[in-house]
Chain A
Amino acid sequence: MTERPASPRASLFTKYFLALFAAAVGPLLVAGGSEAWFGYRDQRDRLSDLLDSEARLAAFKIEYFLQGISDQLEWMVQLPWSAGTDERRRLDALRLLRQVPPVMSLRLVDATGRERLFVSRIGLNRVESGDDHSDDPAALGAAAQGAWFGPVIFQGGSEPFLTVAVAGNRSAAGVAIAEVNLKFIWDVISAIQVGRTGEAFVLDAPGRLVAHPDISLVLRADDASTRPLQLLRSAILAQPGQAIAGRDTKGDAVMAAMAPIPMVEWSVIVKQPVAEAFGPIYAALWRTGVLLVAGTLFAALLAYWLSQRMIGPIRLLEDGVARIGAGQFDHRIELATGDEFERLAGRFNHMAGELAVSQERSERINRLKRFLAPQVAELIERSGDERVLDGRRVEVVAVFCDLRGFTAFAAQAQPEAIISVLGTYYDAMERVIAAHEATLTSFSGDGIMALVNAPVACPDPALRAVAMARAMQDCVQALLVDWRAAGHELGFGVGLAMGPATVGRIGSGGRLDYTAVGHVVNLASRLCASAKDREILADRTVARAVGTAVALTELEARPLKGFARHVPVFIVDAPRHDASRDNASAVIGESAPG
């Protein structure tokens, strides 16, 4: 019973765990995954916007630098030229050089295209040289558009210069033409920072590097080394309005965006290392990943805990049921979960209690059945009152019976035969006694004692006792036929007496018997001893109690052991036996009972 049933193929714990885990992790993964995806897209868009605005800001700054120079030049072309030397204008020009460091030299040309003034930081100044500049593209361009920006020229093959020309409102004011050293854009471009390490650079229309935070790249004026930057620009032009990934001059992966400066047809490109640009994206993805893992772990722990909580009571119930099943009815399943499990445990406990009561009852019945007829035992058990078994003095009919010739038989026969005969005999007697609701008080060898009217009273005890004796005789006589056929010379006699006796349970502990003590018991025993085969001997009290209901024949009073006087003896159904049987019976009857 204590042996556990084989482990189930699929454990409830695994099922619950998987179900709970999936319930928690599924939504988490879906939410986390979509969050990561949309976050990534948003961040990418934001990065594109950010780089785009950085590019526009950088372009604005460069444009501001150029615009600042052309604004300064406008001062020089506000007044019309007079015929003679203009000392005031010379001073203005010198002040402009002082004020605008990128301007290396300034040439003022009047409406007729004659050079009126030239000031330079390096070369000699000239006043009223009168050189003809009427077909100078700068002068022509400025006259046509107001402001003119020339192509970038690398002086000495290295330093980028730009010619800026500005015309006055009136053609009489002439044109101011300045040579601008673009190295000064370095101050602007190097101050532009994109993110933490990102930077900006400027390409002119043919793709030459005009400005870069690393000025030596500009000064090298080397198309081959700035080729990656040109590729970057063409990639951006292919996908306008979007930040694109590419490589810079060092071969590092960068994200880049571009903004144009229309007045000089330059492109300002900002770039940021991919690792840095995507830093926030990677950080967000990483964060989401960590959260997902943490969430998954938490879900696993939660699922484990919940399953354990679910399975724990079930295990406890299983164990409890196993113990109860093993007969440990005092075992109680301790569960205080406050839910259905507690109720179920309560039911099991109740069941165990019921089982304990039931077992106790059945044990008691079994005990009672040892000496009481089953129905009597049931009766007593049902009444729940065993006081009926307590010692008291009542009128009883004691019935004794035993086999004639058993001692001799037992001395000769094989043990198997003896046990077989006794087994059959007891079996038959028990049935007969039970059928008459009499109380079987003891077996002793071949002798049996039974009581009628104790512990449970019954109507007409004497009559019942006689009927039982008769049944005993009939039953045993039927058996005797077989036994005699097997060569066992046995007989059967019954004695019964009625009278008051002390009855009750005697003995101690496990050996508790119900029995009767008194004169009547001795008398019945003696009567049985003196009865021959087939005979049922009764005393006077029985005879009287039976009256005429049974055919009784009074025999000659006979001396009985332990009785001072001859005792009157009645025989039930005096046998009509033939002489030969009679003889044999007499022989057997002489032997002592038991």
Chain B
Amino acid sequence: MPVAGRDKFVSQPLGAHPAQAAPCRRDVLASMLAICVLPAAMTSARAQPSTLPVIGYLGSESPERYASRLGAFAQGLSEAGYVEGRDVSMLFRWADGQYRQLPALAKELADAGVTVMVAPGGAEVALAAKSATTSIPIVFELGGDPVALGLVASLAQPGGNMTGVTSLNVEVSRKRLEFMRELFPQAQLFAIAANPTSPTVKSQLANLDAAAATLGVELRVLHASTSDAFEELFTATRAIGAGGLVFTSDPYFTYRSRRLAELAAQHGVATITQSRDFPLAGGLMSYGGDFRQSHRHTGIYAGRILKGEKPADLPVQRVTKVELFINLKAAQALGLVVPPALLSSADMVIE
């Protein structure tokens, strides 16, 4: 097991992740992790019988950003009867935000002969996994239409070596615009943040355009595919005088909710994103699927495949729960009064 200076190669037990990781001190942290984890990993590797099945876990980011998702995954896995170290061993590959590396990392996992590959966290990861193998079962987790993405033949009968969980994130982009419009009934222009590299960006923008037409508003699409471009999104929103900034669904944005919340507060821009992480970190609103549910179901499916079920027979599950989070503190800071229609729809109101 390679333990290099970069933490994307560090294998870690599920759920045991440092709470905070300062990016500037990543190398120090990585070496600390290596020191801490290496003996444990080695002894556990020695103690485990070689017959334990291996889950290859492909992460688009780092273990820290995935911490809560990994917890939900482990929960689902244990519901299916598997506990890491006891019944199954895990092999991790982390892209650390470099989504172009995903296919190579997926290939590494496939070459390592994993029993099942788990590709959570978006269409990019699922597509990378699909490119790596046609025989190893793959469980994906994404927000979008897996049929349209060409991952499965149909939701009911996936047919190939892939199945997984999809959330309604991509479909509900328009609802974010609607909520923003509810907040600013008078505004005629809204800014849209999109990641041009995302496989679902086209469908989402089309979806949003249709919604804008219905709602009678104009949209300005702002692009950002790296975190360096984030600040530009907010300054541009203010510059064009848009009512608010609506984020399309994209894992790259989701995993950087904290940074986005900081920038939104800093620039005083009313913003809605996909993930609850955003309002929890101080952002205004979020509307999207419950990632804990989707990752838990991913864990359950990984377990069922380990038990011998075929991905072709396991229908793609849609996580139906969509949640609206509103942070009233952020609203207050922005000088906004949240209308009752929004408050009564909110699943969680942070005060």
Contact = CB atoms under 8 A, between A and B. Distances in A.
Given A94-B341, A122-B168, A159 B215 contact: no
Interface string B308-320: 0000011111101
Interface in B157-194: 157, 168, 171-172, 174-175, 178
B344 A158 contact: no
A124 B345 contact: no
Nearest to B211: A124
Nearest to B210: A124
Nearest to B314: A216
A314 B347 CA distance: 96
Contacts of B45: none
Contacts of B171: 122
Interface in A31-82: none
A156 interface: yes
A90 B172 CA distance: 20
A319 interface: no
Interface in A202-258: 215-216, 219-222
Contacts of B345: 94-95, 97-98
A166 to B, nearest CB: 21
B317 A124 contact: no
B315 A158 contact: yes
B313 A220 contact: yes
A183 interface: yes
Contacts of A184: 320
A369 B259 CA distance: 146
Given A221-B156, A222-B156, A94 B344 contact: yes
Contacts of A123: 174-175
A503 B211 CA distance: 163
A183 B321 CA distance: 11
Contacts of B119: none
Interface in A156-196: 156-159, 181, 183-184
A220 B317 contact: no
Contacts of A97: 345
Nearest to B324: A98
Interface string A93-126: 0110110010010000000000000000111110
A158 B172 contact: no
A550 interface: no
A91 interface: yes
A216 B315 contact: yes
B214 interface: yes
B154 interface: yes
A205 to B, nearest CB: 20
Contacts of A125: 178
B155 interface: yes
Task: Say whether chain A's binding surface is mostly helix, strand, loop, or mixed.
Answer: mixed
A121 B322 contact: yes
Contact of A122 (B157, B175, B340): B175
B326 to A, nearest CB: 12
A407 B317 CA distance: 145
A337 B304 CA distance: 76
A98 to B, nearest CB: 6
A189 to B, nearest CB: 16
B340 A215 contact: no
Contacts of A122: 168, 171-172, 175, 322
Given A157-B155, A220-B313, A222-B157, A91 B172 contact: no
Given A94-B341, A222-B157, A124 B174 contact: yes
Contacts of B157: 220, 222
B215 A219 contact: no
Nearest to A217: B315
A123 B321 CA distance: 14
Contacts of B172: 121-122
Given A94-B345, A158-B316, A219-B317, A124 B178 contact: yes
B80 to A, nearest CB: 12
B101 to A, nearest CB: 32
B341 A158 contact: no
A419 B171 CA distance: 148
A323 B136 CA distance: 95
B174 A157 contact: no
Nearest to B317: A219
A289 B157 CA distance: 50
Contacts of A154: 156
A534 B297 CA distance: 149
Contacts of A159: 155, 318, 320
A91 B172 CA distance: 20
A185 to B, nearest CB: 12
B317 A215 contact: yes
Contact of A90 (B178, B314, B341): B341
B344 A220 contact: no
Interface string B241-273: 000000000000000000000000000000000
A144 B304 CA distance: 47
Contact of B340 (A91, A181, A220): A91
Give the residue among B175, B214, B315, B347 with the most A Cβ atoms within 10 A.
B315
Contacts of B168: 121-122
Contacts of B320: 101, 104, 159, 181, 183-184
B156 A219 contact: yes
Nearest to A87: B341
Contacts of A121: 168, 172, 175, 322
A329 B314 CA distance: 99
Interface in B292-351: 304, 313-318, 320-322, 340-341, 344-347
A90 B344 CA distance: 10
A8 to B, nearest CB: 71
B174 A220 contact: no
Contacts of A216: 304, 313-315, 317
Chain A to chain B: the 7 pairs with minimum beta-carbon distance, closest first: A219-B315, A158-B155, A158-B156, A94-B345, A95-B344, A221-B156, A220-B315
19 contacts: A90-B341, A94-B344, A98-B346, A121-B175, A123-B175, A124-B174, A124-B175, A125-B178, A154-B156, A156-B155, A156-B156, A158-B154, A159-B155, A219-B155, A220-B157, A220-B313, A220-B315, A222-B156, A222-B157
Interface of B: 154-157, 168, 171-172, 174-175, 178, 211, 214-215, 304, 313-318, 320-322, 340-341, 344-347
Given A104-B320, A159-B320, 20 more contacts: A94-B341, A94-B345, A121-B172, A121-B175, A121-B322, A122-B172, A122-B175, A123-B175, A124-B175, A157-B155, A158-B156, A158-B315, A159-B318, A184-B320, A215-B317, A216-B314, A219-B317, A220-B157, A220-B313, A222-B157
